[in-house]
Amino acid sequence: MTVTSPTLPLALHIDRVRKAYANHVAVRDVSLSVPPGTVYGLLGPNGAGKTTTIRMMLNILRPDSGRITMLGLPAGHSDLLNRVGYLPEERGLYKKMQVRRVLRFLGRLKGLSGADADRRIDHWLERLGLRSGGEDWSQARVEDLSRGMQQKVQFAGTMLHDPELVVLDEPFSGLDPVNAQALKDSVLDLRRMGRTVIFSTHVMDAAERMCDAVAIIARGEIVADGSLRALKSQYGGANRVLVIFGGNGRDLARPVLEDRELVARFEDLGQQVEIDLAANAQAQTLLQALVAREVEIVRFDRLEASLHRIFLDKVGATGVEAGVSGHG
């Protein structure tokens, strides 16, 4: 994984944690390590046990067995409360309260003084575009804000006390592309400042671009974890090719794609095809075969395994369907 400082304890260490509800096991023997300064993705389909794992980190739920430490302290330690920022998946604020008063309240719950909180509230509201020149949403009631704006207020509440470790549960759900980008920028800023960010998502695209390391969780178990680079080299690389066709190239290429000597399997996305080469085949041979048939090619690219691909490989269609219990 990335920057590991020997003097700092792990940002998160989960050791064989298990949690069962009345009629199913939500998390079984999950172990994880997140070094400080990392952006860490917890990936998995709905119902895989992401939210349960996160709630146990935050001591909102108690594990049935196993140990969790954060920043070197056992989960639930009172010193942790003020050093960790948490944005739950189930998001809500006091609807009738004024935005500034809600944020001041959240800040004070994290041990900030009123004046200190006010200063930081201004900073975050300006940064998230809720307070600029003519507009000032800090005086509005929460219920008068749009959903996206409420989500920004919540994010501000998570960040007010400048936490060392930030835990975001499905932070992108319900955000429009502009706001999602603002959130991604904030996460990358946190990494630049050396903070640790752990977030859960099923949006692979976002995870792929932001994370240093990920864990893929399905049916309550970790099915793959490690740095993004290590995962990619482990799950594919040299023998994956992306081809984008032009004109009627897709039809002309069909015999080549169905040639078992060359292509082990392919994922058909229309004019774009992701190809797994057969065991002994070379990308070069494939390209020659396509050119020989006068297939019009717009792009021919060697692929790293996408996180999406790894995810599907590891979780499989069954894993996605098995995710039936309410929370991830």
Partner 1 sequence: MGKLFAVIEREFMERVRSKWFVLTTLFGPFLFAGLTIGPPILAFRSARAVDVSRMVIVDATQVGAGNGVATELAGGLTSAATPPTVIAVNAETRTPVVDSLRALLAADRIPAAVILDDSSVASGAVRVLLAGGAPLATSERVQRAAERELLRRQIATTGIDVAVAERITRFSVSAKVERVLRDGRSGSAQVNIIFGAGVAVLLYIVIVLYGQIVLRGVTEEKQSRVSELVLASVPPRVLLSGKVLGIGGVALLQLGFWTSSLLVLMANREKLLAAFGVAGGSMALPTIGAAELVPLFAYFTLGYVLYAALFAAVGSIVSSEQEAQQAQTPVIMLLVGSMALLQPALADPDGPIARAMSIVPFSSPILMPLRLGLVSVPAADLAMSLSLLSLTAVGAMVAAGRLYRTAMLMYGKRPSLAEVFRWIRNAD
- As a whole number of angstroms, the distance between CA 138 and CA 29 comes to 44
199 binds partner 1 (CB under 8 A): no
66 binds partner 1 (CB under 8 A): no
Residue among 156, 98, 97 nearest 125 (CA): 156
The stretch near partner 1 (CB under 8 A) out of 10-18, 98-106, 182-190, 266-274 is 98-106
The stretch near partner 1 (CB under 8 A) out of 106-114, 129-137, 283-291, 311-319 is 106-114
20, 25, 81, 188: residue in contact with partner 1 (rule CB under 8 A)? 81
96 binds partner 1 (CB under 8 A): yes
3-state secondary structure of 193: coil
The stretch near partner 1 (CB under 8 A) out of 85-93, 226-234, 236-244, 253-261 is 85-93
The stretch near partner 1 (CB under 8 A) out of 65-73, 88-96, 289-297, 314-322 is 88-96
> Residue 116 or 313: which CB sits closer to partner 1?
116
Reading the block at residue 217, the tokens are: 């969780």
106 binds partner 1 (CB under 8 A): yes
- As a whole number of angstroms, the distance between CA 307 and CA 273 comes to 17
3-state secondary structure of 305: coil
8, 73, 97, 180: residue in contact with partner 1 (rule CB under 8 A)? 97
Q: Min. distance of Cβ 87 from partner 1 in angstroms? A: 8
175 binds partner 1 (CB under 8 A): no
In this structure, the strands spanning 39-43 and 165-169 are unpaired
Please work out, in degrees rounded to the nearest 5, the angle formed at the alpha carbon of residue 14 by the alpha carbons of 53 and 311.
60
Q: Footprint of partner 1 on residues 127-156 (CB under 8 A)? A: 154
The stretch near partner 1 (CB under 8 A) out of 52-60, 128-136, 226-234, 315-323 is 52-60
CA distances from 87 to 72, 136, 158, 200, 304 (A): 21, 23, 6, 11, 32
In this structure, the strands spanning 240-245 and 297-302 are antiparallel
Query: What is the gyration radius of the CA atoms in the chain, in angstroms?
Result: 23
- As a whole number of angstroms, the distance between CA 93 and CA 145 comes to 11
37, 157, 319, 328: residue in contact with partner 1 (rule CB under 8 A)? 157
**In contact, 323 and 316? CB cutoff 8 Å:** no
Q: Which residues bind partner 1 (CB under 8 A)?
A: 55, 58, 60-62, 81, 84, 86-88, 90-97, 101, 105-106, 108-111, 154, 157
